[in-house]
Structure 1
């Protein structure tokens, strides 16, 4: 009986490890990444690291790309992290069902209103960076309708009146430039902006020009978006990247493992016209956008 169980388990494992796409191309299953990592992957994680730059080690022969002090790139690279091993928590306090996907959880609160989903989380990071570096005049995002909503206008008391795809702005509130009002503004952005609006609004970036802060995007309803939070390079000019994401339902922002190339996980390598597999999403095309 034990032998029969082993044979069945083996056949099931083979079935899980091999799958095909719509064109018949053989693809690996994420389960393969988990099993392979257990036995052969090098460990690039420093469990005592309390920021992205101190949590993730650099493979031999690589070095971190340098960026100006106080830049968005350095802001992301040095983003603080929660203690190693903490779970991903949804906005309602429950645990996310997949706790094996991440190597870090970013130290950023998750509102209980459920609005801070994948694109929203990245817009929040960008907006907070601009706020914290006294660039508040640059805070603004485009609604899915195409209408631009800036923090300056919102703080001055202007509010959108939305009727279908028609949006108009009217001064209906007293000026309020407080931090509390800033987060009310972000909740508005989370309601009317998302992956599709970021894709439509932001400039596209070629893989050869990628930098920290650029975002891997699949537009749609729903789509998905993830952000580069570190970049390293070697003497050949080859580069590797770290990816972080928010998700749906709204939950902690996390640093993703790489199940398709466990030998370099959590680092990723991108190539033109080649799909990108991340633990929670399959990007059939490597499309990247950049915040203005």
Structure 2
């Protein structure tokens, strides 16, 4: 959503134990992914502590293979808060609009900083930091200034005066997690959807992979990340899960697919027209990817 400076489940399990004909009919539903009549499959598992453990793939689909240590592997193994957890804002209040199936176990901080684009940057930066790829952690401010962690970790800090941004030496070199988080807070304050749209590259929907971002850069704008993917090996159809941050700053959460109803967060790349997520609508052309 628009930045301040940039003017930037519970699943109800269907117990299919009835032996009556009427019970069988009530337990059948139109599968929102395949369009066929079938018993509703349980896709949310309360005991799962990670994305891929909590959310199963629909019948006939398999998770898209990812390399160990890749960003895609990192995302599908992200830790989740206990099943049924609510999304909280940075100030402890609850998110009013319950449009989510699960909540990532990633802190939101104590300031109104980690909003939508920031959540995208947070996940990417955390992956790179945890992999020791410090030199690849960099994001642009809205005015184009390149804020890179490689310079920050040397003890340099960023000074902002109006639209003028510069580096200044402030202290000793350190790549501690505390220093890393202070770097991210600076990035969150001066980067957003508009800067991300200029920094990332557009990719065709047919080439989607985990880590890609549906992104509308602007004032306001929005960004949601493709957290995981699955594919039907017979038909080739691909499905994906979406996660977002929002305004005000709040816990990153896995979005429901309202077209499927509660308990099935998978979206299909074969959507017609625009992609309708619970709190934003994107076009097919608004899919982006980090370049390194």
> TM-score with structure 1 length normalisation?
0.82
Q: Distance in 2 between matches of 1:160 and 1:271?
A: 44
Shift of 1:168: 2.5
Please, which moves more after superposition, 265-274 or 181-190?
265-274
Q: Distance in 2 between matches of 1:170 and 1:83?
A: 43
Match of 1:150 in 2: 148
Please, which moves more after superposition, 43-52 or 61-70?
43-52
SS at match of 1:232: strand
Shift of 1:185: 0.5
Mapped contact 2:213–2:287 kept (Cα < 8 A)? yes
Shift of 1:163: 3.4
Match of 1:249 in 2: 248
* 1:177 pairs with 2:175: yes
Match of 2:281 in 1: 282
Please, which moves more after superposition, 279-288 or 219-228?
279-288
Give ranges in structure 2 of 5+ residues lacking alignment. Answer: 1-31, 33-38
SS at match of 2:89: coil
Q: Which one of the candidate residues 196, 207, 220 is aligned to 1:198? A: 196
Match of 1:162 in 2: 160
Match of 2:59 in 1: 60
Q: Distance in 1 between matches of 2:284 and 2:75?
A: 24
In structure 2, relative to structure 1, the CA distance for the partners of 1:135 and 1:150 (3 Å cut) is same
SS at match of 1:107: coil
Whose RCO is larger (CA < 8 A, sep 6+)? 2
Shift of 1:162: 2.6
Give ranges in structure 1 of 5+ residues lacking alignment. Answer: 1-32, 34-39
Match of 1:75 in 2: 74
Q: Which one of the candidate residues 106, 115, 121 is aligned to 1:117? A: 115
> TM-score with structure 2 length normalisation?
0.82
Shift of 1:173: 3.4
Q: Distance in 2 between matches of 1:92 and 1:263?
A: 27
Q: Distance in 2 between matches of 1:205 and 1:128?
A: 23
* 1:139 pairs with 2:137: yes
Cα distance per residue 1:19-42 (max 9 Å; x no partner): xxxxxxxxxxxxxx9xxxxxx964
Shift of 1:254: 0.6
In structure 2, relative to structure 1, the CA distance for the partners of 1:271 and 1:238 (3 Å cut) is closer
Output the aligned Cα RMSD: 2.0
SS at match of 1:208: helix
Please, which moves more after superposition, 265-274 or 206-215?
265-274
Which stretches of structure 1, 4 residues or longer, exceed 6 Å deviation after superposition? none
